[in-house]
Amino acid sequence: MTEQNSPDEPLFGLRVDHDAGQKFLNASKWASFIAIIYFIGIGLALLVSVFAGAALNKAMSAVLPGIADLGSVLVATVICVSLFVLFIGLMLYRFAKLVRTGIERQDQRSFNEGLRFLRNYFMINGVVAILGFVLNAYNIIAASLGRF
């Protein structure tokens, strides 16, 4: 019968040594930088979409009154996408902060929690990449069959 590891016992006796800790600290700095870029991009996208949506509403109401709310749809879509991207950026930011805290304070629980956020970040990005691949493949097939 094999022995089960307790949650506090390291798997296969692995621990983060000084060199690995420095690499994780470096990775957390880059993750913080990238997360901040996410947040700046979200802010700019929201700002541009509000002005573009208002201008689009004004222009479309003069040309085609039936679709005058197209700008509002644009703003709502950008807000929904921005919330999703904000969620992803927050996960990356939480990874950076928790891993840095875990290494600096030698707190295994914070370190593990940070790695959990990184795992979730990559899982969500993987699902989005697969969905993008499937949608692109569908569009290519639909266009080649002339059903587009």
Question: Would you state the pLDDT for residue 16?
Answer: 75
Does the pTM surpass 0.85? The reply is no
Predicted confidence band of residue 19 (pLDDT cuts 50, 70, 90): confident
Query: pLDDT tens, 78-130?
Result: 899 999 999 999 999 999 999 999 999 988 899 999 999 999 999 999 999 99
pLDDT at 1 exceeding the cut of 50:
no
- Exposure string of 113-133, with b = 16+ CB inside 10 Å and e = fewer, is bbeebbebbeeeeeeeeeeee
**Confidence (pLDDT) at 147:** 67
∠ at Cα 64 (62, 65), nearest 5°? 75
Q: Report the alpha-carbon distance of residue 127 to residue 88 in Å, rounded.
A: 12
Q: Which one has a higher pLDDT value, 6 or 61? A: 61
- Name the amino acid, one letter, at 99: V
Average pLDDT, integer, range 1-24: 66
Residue pLDDT, tens place only, 35-77: 999 999 999 999 988 888 878 777 777 777 666 677 778 888 8
